């Protein structure tokens, strides 16, 4: 009998041998690098719960322990921070694409640059979380792949070299939204340089993006995050979503909307974040005459009401009420009510109604122009090169949000400007996943080892004002130890490596 009776091959997958023939094959593999290599809403919206901006109320989401400091060596990496699937996909593409002859060699180089960018970005997050990480640039066999961690400095150098090498293979602004551009490469490079204390380089990289002139600030801070405005000129790079596309669909609105709308309130903004917003006079609340502790949500930086649903907020046609014991949004009435009394508003697109909130297509912005401006400003401030360009950059971001320009008399020196830029970053990028990384590079992660508080008791009045009394609700005790500047390597990964991977200090 013929042996081929038993030769069966998958009917819905391509064989490794028959792939890597055409430019189309290369494009498919590159698409999968985007799919497997990028952070999305899971990270963008949840990462702030690792810091003092938000509280993750569901332990199974995997962020609660990262926020309250109780993660240990047995920590389960539910968020796949310590994964190399992303790196693998990019390395598979970069190895496979070499087998293909392109009609236009420049196109091949551009595609390779896209994959190298995705790989560099993925490595940057890993270095931030874990310090030393195994650096791999080619697809390794099962036997070859059990390798030790590469020193962080070496990985960072690799990232910066890569970003430097690929920038010129790409157009300033990508022809199609969602694709890697030269601006994205340089903006990421600036971000890496800033976090590594390479301030001159960070200023130069961000200046290059500013000088391109292809990007500007979107006029409306809140609606910038809505689907109707995706791909606007502020967006330098995003992780793209669309409705009805399975895991590529944004279902996160349902996960974060208030309980009264059938949402889960998964990530709840903290009192600490609410307190950070200046009053509309450009002064912090402690110094502003516009601030009323019994009715604290009026006269505040408009970015607060664009980011947070607070008691009395006008939300989808009615007043949000997390203070009334009989309200579905009262914390004690349901697991799906916010524990802090505040719900997430950023990205909660009013156009999404009914089931749309579980099936939406807004893109998750990973790099936007405001970051480039604030990175430029911070890099200059840290070098004490305080000039008009610094104020202009910060002013642009503030004015777009409806805030007055920086008071030059108050913020006149490096220390005061450092205080300002750090507050500015916190409120501008609140709930966009920046906070933990920012505190880390400012050596201020200790700040998150303090209790999380929510709203005070009180009532929501018919006009939307509130009358508060009592003290803030205690939501979670938190601890922080120096070792928490890095996450533990998941013990399971160490075990599988038979000890080739070593644990971070003190875990």
78 by DSSP, 3-state: which? coil
Kindly state whether residue 492 participates in binding other proteins, applying the rule CB under 8 A: yes
Q: Quick one: which of 100, 110, 204, 242 contacts other proteins (CB under 8 A)?
A: 242
Kindly state whether residue 146 participates in binding other proteins, applying the rule CB under 8 A: yes
Shortest spacing between CB 336 and other proteins, in angstroms = 5
Shortest spacing between CB 341 and other proteins, in angstroms = 15
User: How many angstroms separate the CA atoms of 147 and 497, rounded?
Assistant: 8
Measured from the CB atom, is 293 or 317 closer to other proteins?
Answer: 317
Residue of 440, 447, 427, 426 lying closest to 485 (CA atoms): 440
Measured from the CB atom, is 183 or 406 closer to other proteins?
Answer: 183
Measured from the CB atom, is 242 or 459 closer to other proteins?
Answer: 242
CA dihedral 389, 207, 225, 254 (to 10 degrees): -120
The two tokens of residue 338 are 């916010």
Interface of this chain with other proteins, residues 181 to 240, rule: CB under 8 A = 231, 240
Measured from the CB atom, is 59 or 153 closer to other proteins?
Answer: 59
**In this chain, which stretch among 196-204, 302-310, 401-409, 497-505 interacts with other proteins, using CB under 8 A?**
497-505
The structure tokens 């099962």 sit at 142
107 by DSSP, 3-state: which? helix
Shortest spacing between CB 209 and other proteins, in angstroms = 22
Interface of this chain with other proteins, residues 311 to 340, rule: CB under 8 A = 318, 328, 332, 334-336
Write out the H or E segment, with its range, that includes residue 314: strand 314-315
Q: Quick one: which of 106, 142, 388, 462 contacts other proteins (CB under 8 A)?
A: 142
Backbone angles phi, psi at 113, to 5 degrees: -65, -40
Kindly state whether residue 497 participates in binding other proteins, applying the rule CB under 8 A: yes
Shortest spacing between CB 3 and other proteins, in angstroms = 7
Shortest spacing between CB 493 and other proteins, in angstroms = 4
Interface of this chain with other proteins, residues 45 to 84, rule: CB under 8 A = 74, 82-84
**In this chain, which stretch among 151-159, 203-211, 294-302, 487-495 interacts with other proteins, using CB under 8 A?**
487-495
**In this chain, which stretch among 30-38, 103-111, 423-431, 448-456 interacts with other proteins, using CB under 8 A?**
30-38
Interface of this chain with other proteins, residues 424 to 463, rule: CB under 8 A = none
Kindly state whether residue 359 participates in binding other proteins, applying the rule CB under 8 A: yes
Interface of this chain with other proteins, residues 385 to 424, rule: CB under 8 A = none
Shortest spacing between CB 245 and other proteins, in angstroms = 6
- 432-436: list long-range contacts, CB under 8 Å, 24+ apart: 432/44, 432/48, 432/346, 432/365, 433/39, 433/43, 433/44, 433/45, 433/46, 433/47, 433/48, 434/47, 434/48, 434/371, 435/47, 435/48, 435/50, 435/51, 435/52, 435/53, 436/47, 436/48, 436/50, 436/51
Q: How far is CA 469 from CA 60, 460, 472, in A?
A: 33, 12, 9
Q: Quick one: which of 164, 178, 282, 451 contacts other proteins (CB under 8 A)?
A: 178
Interface of this chain with other proteins, residues 252 to 291, rule: CB under 8 A = 259-262
Kindly state whether residue 101 participates in binding other proteins, applying the rule CB under 8 A: no
Measured from the CB atom, is 357 or 394 closer to other proteins?
Answer: 357
User: How many angstroms separate the CA atoms of 507 and 504, rounded?
Assistant: 6
Q: Quick one: which of 21, 85, 99, 408 contacts other proteins (CB under 8 A)?
A: 85
The structure tokens 């949500």 sit at 297
Partner residues linked to 467 by β-bridges: 459
Measured from the CB atom, is 34 or 215 closer to other proteins?
Answer: 34
* Region at 308 (left for phi over 0; alpha for psi -120 to 50; beta for the rest): beta
Using CB under 8 A as the binding criterion, the count of chain residues that bind other proteins stands at 82
Q: Quick one: which of 179, 198, 398, 435 contacts other proteins (CB under 8 A)?
A: 179
Kindly state whether residue 92 participates in binding other proteins, applying the rule CB under 8 A: yes
368 by DSSP, 3-state: which? strand
Q: Are 180 and 233 in contact (CB under 8 A)?
A: no
Interface of this chain with other proteins, residues 111 to 140, rule: CB under 8 A = 134, 136, 139-140
Measured from the CB atom, is 299 or 334 closer to other proteins?
Answer: 334
Shortest spacing between CB 323 and other proteins, in angstroms = 15
Q: How far is CA 502 from CA 71, 147, 151, 241, in A?
A: 17, 11, 12, 37
Residue of 275, 279, 218, 298 lying closest to 426 (CA atoms): 275
Measured from the CB atom, is 179 or 346 closer to other proteins?
Answer: 179
**In this chain, which stretch among 171-179, 400-408, 431-439, 460-468 interacts with other proteins, using CB under 8 A?**
171-179
In sequence order, the 6+-apart residues with CB closer than 8 A to the CB of 2 are none
Q: Quick one: which of 12, 286, 387, 463 contacts other proteins (CB under 8 A)?
A: 12
Kindly state whether residue 471 participates in binding other proteins, applying the rule CB under 8 A: no
Mapping DSSP onto H, E and C, the string for 189-234 reads HHHHHHHCCCHHHHHHHHHHHHHHCCCCCCCCCCHHHCHHHCCCCC
**In this chain, which stretch among 175-183, 364-372, 405-413, 434-442 interacts with other proteins, using CB under 8 A?**
175-183
Q: What is the DSSP letter of 459?
A: E
Kindly state whether residue 29 participates in binding other proteins, applying the rule CB under 8 A: yes
Provide the H-helix boundaries in 402-496: 414-428, 435-441, 491-496
């Amino acid at each position: 009998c013929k042996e081929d009776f038993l030769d069966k091959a998958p009917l819905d997958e391509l064989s490794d041998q028959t792939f890597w023939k055409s430019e189309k094959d290369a494009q498919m593999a590159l698409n999968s690098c985007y799919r497997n290599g990028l952070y999305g809403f899971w990270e963008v919206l949840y990462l702030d719960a690792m810091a003092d901006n938000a509280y993750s109320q569901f332990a199974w989401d995997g962020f609660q322990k990262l926020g309250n400091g109780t993660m240990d060596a047995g920590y389960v990496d539910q968020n796949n921070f310590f994964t190399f699937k992303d790196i693998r996909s990019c390395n598979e593409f970069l190895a496979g694409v070499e087998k293909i002859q392109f009609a236009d060699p420049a196109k091949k180089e551009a595609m390779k640059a896209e994959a190298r960018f995705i790989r560099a970005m993925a490595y940057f997050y890993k270095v931030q979380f874990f310090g030393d990480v195994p650096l791999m640039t080619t697809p390794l066999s099962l036997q070859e792949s059990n390798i030790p961690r590469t020193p962080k400095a070496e990985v960072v150098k690799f990232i910066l070299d890569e970003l430097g090498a690929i920038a010129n293979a790409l157009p300033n602004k990508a022809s199609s939204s969602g694709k890697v551009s030269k601006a994205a490469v340089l903006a990421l490079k600036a971000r890496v340089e800033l976090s590594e204390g390479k301030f001159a380089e960070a200023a130069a990289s961000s200046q290059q993006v500013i000088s391109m002139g292809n990007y500007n600030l979107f006029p409306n801070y809140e609606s910038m995050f809505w689907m109707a405005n995706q791909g606007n000129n502020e967006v330098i790079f995003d992780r793209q979503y669309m409705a009805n596309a399975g895991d590529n669909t944004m279902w996160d609105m349902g996960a974060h909307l208030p309980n009264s709308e059938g949402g889960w309130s998964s990530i709840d903004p903290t009192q600490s974040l609410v307190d950070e917003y200046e009053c509309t006079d450009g002064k912090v609340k402690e110094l502003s005459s516009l601030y009323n502790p019994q009715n604290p949500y009026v006269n505040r930086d408009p970015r607060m009401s664009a980011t947070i649903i607070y008691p009395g907020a006008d939300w989808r046609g009615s007043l949000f009420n997390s203070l009334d014991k009989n309200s579905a949004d009262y914390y004690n009435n349901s697991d799906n009510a916010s524990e802090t009394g505040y719900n997430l508003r950023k990205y909660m697109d009013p156009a999404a109604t009914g089931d749309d909130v579980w099936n939406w297509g807004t893109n998750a912005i990973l790099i936007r122009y405001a970051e480039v401006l604030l990175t430029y400003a911070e890099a200059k401030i840290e070098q004490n090169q305080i000039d008009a360009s610094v104020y202009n950059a910060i002013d642009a971001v503030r004015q777009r949000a409806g805030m007055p320009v920086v008071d030059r008399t108050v913020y006149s020196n490096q220390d005061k400007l450092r205080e300002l830029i750090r507050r500015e970053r916190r409120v501008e990028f609140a709930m966009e996943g920046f906070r933990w990384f920012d505190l880390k590079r400012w050596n201020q992660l200790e700040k998150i080892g303090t209790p999380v508080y929510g709203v005070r008791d009180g009532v929501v009045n018919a006009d939307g004002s509130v009358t508060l009394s009592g003290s803030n609700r205690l939501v979670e005790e938190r601890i922080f130890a120096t070792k928490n500047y890095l996450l533990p390597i998941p013990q399971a990964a160490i075990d599988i490596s038979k000890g080739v991977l070593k644990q971070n200090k003190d875990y």
